[in-house]
Amino acid sequence: MRVRVEQTALPGIGMRHDLVTESGRRLGVVSHRNGRRDLVLYDPDDPDSCQADIPLTDDEAEALADILGASLMLSQLSGLREQAAGLLTEQIAIPAGTKYVNRQLGDTQARTRTGASIVAVLRQGEVNVSPDPTFRFAAGDVVVVVGTRQGLDGVSAILAEADPDG
Are both 109 and 76 inside the same structural domain? no
66 in any annotated domain: yes
165 in any annotated domain: no
Residue 75: its pLDDT value, please?
60
Give the residue numbers spanning the domain of 139.
Answer: 87-160
Are both 91 and 155 inside the same structural domain? yes
Q: Do 110 and 121 touch, CB atoms closer than 8 A?
A: no
Q: List, in sequence order, every beta strand (DSSP E) within 44-95.
A: 46-56, 88-93
Are both 150 and 112 inside the same structural domain? yes
Amino acid identity of residue 148, one-letter, is: T
pLDDT at 114 over 70: yes
Q: With cut-offs at 50, 70 and 90, classify the pLDDT of residue 105.
A: very high
- pLDDT more than 70, % of the chain: 88
Could you report the per-residue pLDDT of 44-57, keeping only the tens digit for each?
888 778 899 999 98
Last residue of a domain, one of 37, 67, 84: 84
State the SS3 of 29-42.
EEEECCCCEEEEEE
Could you report the per-residue pLDDT of 55-75, keeping only the tens digit for each?
998 888 888 877 776 655 656
C-alpha 120/C-alpha 144 separation (Å) is 5
Residue 77: its pLDDT value, please?
61
pLDDT at 142 over 80: yes
Supply the pTM of this predicted model.
Answer: 0.51
Sheet holding 6-10, edge to edge: 6-10, 14-20, 26-32, 37-43, 46-56
Residue 127 forms beta bridges with which residues?
A: 122
User: How many angstroms separate the Cα of 145 from the Cα of each of 80, 91, 108?
Assistant: 13, 6, 13
Our count of domains for the chain comes to 2
Q: Do 129 and 88 touch, CB atoms closer than 8 A?
A: no
156 in any annotated domain: yes
108 vs 96, residue with greater confidence: 108
91 in any annotated domain: yes
Are both 104 and 77 inside the same structural domain? no
